Amino acid sequence: MTESIIKSHVAQNGLKPLPNIKNIIAVASGKGGVGKSTVTANLALALAAQGARVGVLDADIYGPSQPLMLGVGDKRPTALEDKKMAPLIGHGIQTMSIGYLVEADTATIWRGPMVSGALQQMLKDTAWDKLDYLLVDLPPGTGDIQLTMAQKIPVTTALVVTTPQDIALLDVRKAYNMFRKVGIDMAGVVENMATHTCSECGHSEAIFGSGGGDRIARQYDLPLLAQLPLQLNIREHADSGKPTVVAEPDSAVTKIFLDLATKVQANIAAKKVDHSSKFPPIVVA
């Protein structure tokens, strides 16, 4: 494979890129149940379909879902000679998740420091292979994982997934303010479950309300990156381990994800390129 032309771009607070990872994209949500993990999996596959080398880090320690969604299941990562773990591959995507390291029915009962430590260990002890983009599927809210991301992990950009109803939009505001306070730039907002079209009569209806994603985007001067429909097969594809982008590559939903991938890449390409890797370390003897 020829070397990718995708560049590494600057992150928050001068944090340097991690080895073999050019850009990190945080995918967040203010609350659970808005389809953040489904968006993460399909966005990763859309970026890969456009020629990028992509990985997914499942940072939802308490409720990991990427092993199921990316079709990896209950496999375990292998240990390498340098004490790192080889990422597991799902549909060409390099992945790591706490779901690979604990039994599926085992509850992860950890306090904040343990959760933060697990995130950093999965990120830095995984032998990522020359990634252009690593998508980090964050847990809902603004807790320990998000704080660790902001302080210790170089995030190139972030996007927030929401649904149109007011209670979800309220939590988007919290997520936006969190990223703003810690200096992480936001690519924009993804509105999921925007409309539902009846499979019998073809009537479309905004079940959870309309215009919410657009209002929140305009309020904070952010792009509304995508509006995804509420469709049964999107959920079915994710649950089967074959997300829509690979299950139905020519579908209207896949086109939305491909357009989303293009917009996210454009957002990153507009940022300053990070040149730190070109300079050798300076040692004073």
Q: Phi, psi (5° rounding) for residue 122?
A: -65, -35
Residuewise pLDDT in 10s, the chain (285 residues):
446 789 999 999 889 999 999 999 999 987 788 899 999 999 999 999 999 999 999 998 888 899 999 999 888 889 888 889 999 999 999 999 988 887 666 666 666 678 888 889 999 999 999 999 999 999 887 778 888 888 899 999 999 998 887 776 777 788 888 898 889 999 999 999 887 766 666 666 666 666 667 777 888 888 999 999 988 899 999 999 999 999 999 999 999 999 999 999 999 999 999 877 665 555 565
Enumerate domains of the chain plus CATH numbers: 12-278 (3.40.50.300)
Residue whose structure tokens are 């969604």: 69
* Beta strands at 93-97 and 88-90: parallel, antiparallel or unpaired: antiparallel
Beta-bridge partner residues of 204 = 197
Cut 0.95: pTM above it: no
Rounded to whole angstroms, the Cα distance separating 92 from 63 reads 23
| Separation in Å, CA 121 to CA 46, 180, 220, 251 | 27, 26, 34, 38
